[in-house]
Structures are given as structure tokens and as C-alpha cells.
Amino acid sequence: MQFLLASIVAGPLLGAAAALLPAPPGLKGKSPDQAVLRHGVTVTGAILLATLVLAAGFDHDHPSRMQATTDISWIRALDVRIHLGVDGISLPLLVLTALLCFLCALHSYFKPPAGPAPKAFVALLLVLESGTLATFAVLDLVLFFLAFETVLIPMYFLIARWGGEGRRAAATKFVLYTLLGSVVMLLGLLLIGVKSGTFDMVALATDNGRGLTASVQVIAVLAIGIGLAVKTPMWPLHSWLPDAHTAAPTVGSVLLAGVLLKMGTYGFVRIVLPIAPDGMRTFAPYLAAFAVAGIVYGSLACLALARPGAKGDLKRLIAYSSVGHMGFVLLGIASMTPTGVNGALFANVAHGLVTGLLFFLVGAVKDRYGTADLDTLAGATGAALYGRAPRLGALLAFAAVASLGLPGLAGFWGEMLALFGAFDPAEGLSRPAFLAFTAIGAFGTLLTAAYLLIVVRRICMGGPRPAGETPIPDVQGYEFAAWTPLVALTVLAGLWPAVLLGLTDPAVQKLLAGGTQ
């Protein structure tokens, strides 16, 4: 198990290096480009298989215990260690990352992104996967920062080289925002390491802030929280996200929404909550206020984009919806209760599944119609996907109702538990303030339903296809293969939430108790 987790983290890096080498003559297939794209599918498939083996071998009776651990001294002078491990909090995110990377590689094999150098594309995709997996597996603050930053460069180039209109400006904005936040975050991580005498996240979580003064905790939470809030993204530090999503290629948007945003919220749960609880308690009401502001702001922005005549881009609308959905995650974390934090972790996974599917579907619509502009898609009679591409229309409607939190689908449980957590926050937090936040968040769910139903009505419904118009293709075989797992897991998580909550709850209970349970 130790070797397996280390291989999962390092395997994509080796695959990235191999992708840049010439393909052996017998494996070139029809062309070198096809060979390297097939290599991407093979490597991400192997990593997904290894992750599933890790999940199968995981001791589900003790999900709060760190398993498959590796602890090797790396920089002795600073006591920085190569410390890896997985528990019930990180395991679902590892599986989600491996799954989405494989589906993106599979999609790219059949629908290569428009742009140069498939070798570079596959190598960057694999480096991105490695950095993300490492973020969820490392247990040292310095390694966490390095893994957190590893994903920036590959995502920058995926947007800047294979994106659409305005891609360079969007990629530059993404990197600048994240780097500036990360510099501040690094200072907070170093402050904790220097004042506590260790960078080991397990030891720090077990200490539960007892070795840090209240002022150190407040400063550390402020610094680390800024860096994590940018990546989440939290309103008003979100403005890089809509531009990045609008310009990114389809697989870039899927990974950005499905995986990269989770790194910020994971950092709040893994680092801020257990290591600096007093500092977190100080800032929790402000975090909750920003969270509900993001819920309402994201929904209102989506409503503005969805109205007729607004020339709203569908990818941009889904990007703004992520601001609102991640607001529910932050609200659950800010409650500092097991219920709220479990809801946040559940919403993390649900958002990755549902929004990843939405971006796949929006990319398919854009490929067929040549645009993601809502007014153009609606036109005089509407894109009428129900009549012209019924399977595509049905999947888009399914993803929309899953995103709005329909009971029985994955999106429901995370938002509900986050609101329940805010309704009865942890001891020491203002109950009246959090009741107000709960009411605002609940109002945001109504706004979410409004804009998603408007989108479905405008795109899926409409008049019959005019005579002589070229029919659009319905769901293709490779699309069916890439989207079916996301649909199935969305239904499974919605009907059987214990699959996730059974993993996360014991680990969250232990984390909030400072490792004493």
C-alpha cells in the first residue's frame, strides 16, 4: 500500500517524461500524434486502476487512520519530510482526480484539442494530474505548498496554448492571482512551522493548536486562508475564474472545476481547521459571510447571463455557478461542525462530478453549433436539443437538475448538510449570525434553480428543425464512454450518500477533536 500510493503520485510524472520521447515504431499507430494521445489514456488509466486498488485495500473500518503512509527524511535542516498518507478525507478526492484525468485523456484521444504539439498537451495533462494527486496525499506543509504550486504551470499552458479567444490574458490572470495568493499562504505555512517546530501535518493536527499562541494562529489563518480562498475561489477573489473557464479548452475546464478548485477547500479542512482552530474560530463568521455573498453573487451573475439579449456565454455561466457552489462548501467549513464539514467534503466531490459533466456537455454543444453564446444557441426557435439531439438534451437537463440540488442526486446532500451545519454552528460562534447566513444560503438555492431551469428551457426546448437545416449529431460513442461514469456516480452518491459519508465522518470527527478520537 505504501508503494502503491507513492506510485500513484509519481506515476504521472514518469508518464509525462515518456510522452516527450519518440514513440517506438510498433506503437505509432496511424501517426505519432495518435500514439502520444493513446499514451495519455494508458497512463491515466493505469493511475485510475491503481487508485481503485488503493481504495479497495483501504481499511474502511478505520477511515480516520492514516493509511499507506510513507515517511522519509528529505531536508534535514528544516525537518522537511516526504510524508504521504491517505484517510477518509483524502481518498475520495484522489479517486475523483484520477477518474476525471482519465476521462479527459479519453475525450482528448477521440477529440484532440485544437492547437499545436499533442506531446506537450499530454505531458502537461500528466504533470497536472501528479501535482493534484500529491496535494491530496502529502502530509508535510512544505510539500503541500510545492504540490499546490505544481499545477499552475501546466494549467497556464493548457489555457494559453489550447484555449479559445482571449486565452493568453485569461491564463496570465489565472497565474498572477494564484501566485500572489500562494506567496501569502507560504508565509503562513512557514510561520506555523517555525513556531511549532515541525511541518508535519499529522503532528500539528494532533496538537490541535496547543503549541501555537492565539495571535500566531490568527495571523497564520489569515495568510493561509487568503491563498486557499483564491484557489477555491471565494468571492471577491474569484474574478480570474470566469475568464479562465471561458478561454480554456473543454478538458481544461473540466479539470479546473472538477479538481483544482477542490485543492483550496481541502487545504481549509486539512490544515486550517485542525492546526489553528482558535484562529479559524476568529475568522469563521467572516468566511461564512463571504461564502453566502458568493452564493448570491454567483447566482445573480448567472441569472444576468441567462436572460435573453445578454449575449451570455454558457461556459462563463457554468463558471459563475461554481462560485456559488463553492460558497456552500466554504459555509460548511465555516460552521466548524462535523455536519457542516462533512457536507463541505460531500459537496466537493458532488461538484467535481456534476460540473465536470456540465463542462463536457457545454463543450459538446459548442462543437456542434460553433458557439457557446446563449442568445445564438437559443435563436428564434431555440437549439431544441430535445428534438434534434435528444440524448444530449436529456444529459444536459440531468446535469442541470443535479447541479441545482435535486433530492436523489449528488448535489443535494452537500448543500443540505452545509446548511444544517450553519444552522447550528460550533460552540463559540454566533448562532444569530449563522442563522442569517443559513437563510441567505437557502435563498441562493432558489436562485440556482431559477438560472439553471432558464438555461435548460432556452437550449433544450424550441421549435422544429427548419427544412434544409443540417442535423446535428447526437451523443457519440466516445462521449458516452466519457460521460457515463459521471452520470452513474452522481446517481449513486445521491441515492447512497453513506458511500462518502461513511469515509469522511470518522476522519472529520477525529480532525476536529485534535486526533483524540
Q: Is there a contact between 50 and 490 (Cβ–Cβ < 8 Å)?
A: no
pLDDT in tens, 415-426: 999 999 999 898
Question: Within a 13 Å sphere around the CA of 257, how many CA atoms are in the beta-carbon half?
Answer: 35
Q: Environment class of residue 172 by beta-carbon count within 10 Å: exposed (0-12), middle (13-18) or buried (19+)?
A: middle
pLDDT of 127 reads: 93
Question: Within a 13 Å sphere around the CA of 105, how many CA atoms are in the beta-carbon half?
Answer: 33
What is the distance between the alpha carbons of residues 480 and 440, in angstroms, rounded to a whole number? 38
pLDDT of 484 reads: 92
Helix axes of 477-495 and 410-423: crossing angle, nearest 10 degrees: 40
Q: Is the pLDDT of residue 78 over 80?
A: no
pLDDT in tens, 205-216: 888 878 888 899
What is the distance between the alpha carbons of residues 118 and 370, in angstroms, rounded to a whole number? 22
pLDDT of 382 reads: 63
Nearest 5°: CA angle at 448, between 296 and 242? 70
pLDDT of 203 reads: 87
Reported confidence tier of residue 468, pLDDT bands at 50, 70, 90: low
Task: Tell me if the bond preceding 277 is cis, omega within 30° of 0.
Answer: no
Reported confidence tier of residue 76, pLDDT bands at 50, 70, 90: confident
Identify how many contiguous H helices and E strands the chain contains and give both numbers.
23, 2
What would the mean pLDDT of 132-149 be, rounded to a whole number?
91
What is the distance between the alpha carbons of residues 220 and 190, in angstroms, rounded to a whole number? 9
Q: Which three cell numbers stand for residue 137?
A: 496525499
pLDDT of 209 reads: 77
What would the mean pLDDT of 430-450 be, rounded to a whole number?
91
Element (H, E) at 252: helix 250-255
Q: Is there a contact between 243 and 166 (Cβ–Cβ < 8 Å)?
A: yes
What would the mean pLDDT of 213-220 be, rounded to a whole number?
90
Residue 206: count of CB within 10 angstroms of its CB: 17
pLDDT of 441 reads: 92
Q: Is there a contact between 137 and 156 (Cβ–Cβ < 8 Å)?
A: no
Q: Environment class of residue 419 by beta-carbon count within 10 Å: exposed (0-12), middle (13-18) or buried (19+)?
A: buried
Q: Which three cell numbers stand for residue 408?
A: 436523489
Residue 45: count of CB within 10 angstroms of its CB: 15
Reported confidence tier of residue 224, pLDDT bands at 50, 70, 90: very high
Element (H, E) at 82: strand 80-86
Q: What is the 3-state secondary structure (H, E, C) of 383-430?
A: CCHHHHCHHHHHHHHHHHHHHCCCCCCHHHHHHHHHHHHHHCCCCCCC
Q: Is the pLDDT of residue 463 over 80?
A: no
pLDDT in tens, 178-202: 888 888 999 999 999 888 888 888 8
